[in-house]
Amino acid sequence: MEETQMEEGANNKDVEVAPALISVHPNQNSVAVAVGSDLRVYDLLRDGAVYLLDDSGGPSHKDSIRAIRYGANGKLFVSAGDDKIVKIWSAESWKCISSV
């Protein structure tokens, strides 16, 4: 069996990968998934992907998303990332209502 050598600097300890995050709506209406800076929401009632509206003119986050969470009543959704931005979304219209 042939041994393969890792390239210099390709040590697993040198690579930081953002975790995949999953959050389920309190009433199980939708599920949100974040991988890296990509945020996706799937509407379980309408059986389709949700289009996120963010008036900031770019992607929802510029760096890895580290936390996502629905509010207790399911009306709000929050995402926070390494870009030091917290976004508050309406879970009804899926429009970003505030960026902090």
Give the whole-angstrom CA distance, residue 45 versus residue 29.
6
3 is a domain residue: no
6 is a domain residue: no
Structural domain including 63 reads 16-99
CA distances from 29 to 75, 85, 91 (A): 11, 26, 10
Average pLDDT over residues 76-80: 97
Share of the chain above pLDDT 70, in %: 79
9 is a domain residue: no
pLDDT higher than 70, residue 40: yes
Higher pLDDT pick, 15 / 68: 68
pLDDT digits (tens, 9 = 90+) for 45-60: 999 999 999 887 666 8
pTM, 2 dp: 0.77
